[in-house]
Amino acid sequence: MENMSHVKRFIDSISSQHVISSETCGKISVAVHEAVNNAILHGNKLDYSKNVTIQYSINERCFSCIVEDEGEGFDFSRIPDPTLPENIEKIHGRGVFLMNHFADSVHFRAEGRHVKMVFNL
């Protein structure tokens, strides 16, 4: 978890190198932060021997980011809706919701160990 500050610097660096609006940069920052946090906590279960990998590509139309962990995966089709009354007060369970809200598309592969988010620029 102490490496989460690297994610912010990673996004800030990309934003300063490319023409990304502050609004889009904010969306990217939140979604990637959530994906990495989920990979560390839920995917790798805080196992220091496991890695989280971040890859990205950018062109004039979009920024794409892939976050992968080395965990067991999860059924991404069965994520509870955090906006339902029975889930609204839970302190966890909003990461995938936020990723879907801020990214223009989100795709899971490898039993949930691989998430690709695309942001239109």
For residue range 85-97, what is the model confidence (pLDDT) as tens digits?
999 999 889 999 9
Burial annotation 7-25 (CB, 10 A radius, 16+ → b, else e): beebbeebbeeeebeeebb
pLDDT at 57: 97
Q: For residue 82, what pLDDT band results from cuts at 50, 70 and 90?
A: very high
Domain boundaries, the chain: 4-120
Question: 4-120: CATH homologous superfamily?
Answer: Histidine kinase-like ATPase, C-terminal domain (3.30.565.10)
Predicted structure pTM score: 0.93
User: Which residue reads 């795709």 in tokens?
Assistant: 107
The pLDDT of residue 19 is above 90: no
| Interval 49-71: pLDDT, tens | 999 999 999 999 999 999 999 99
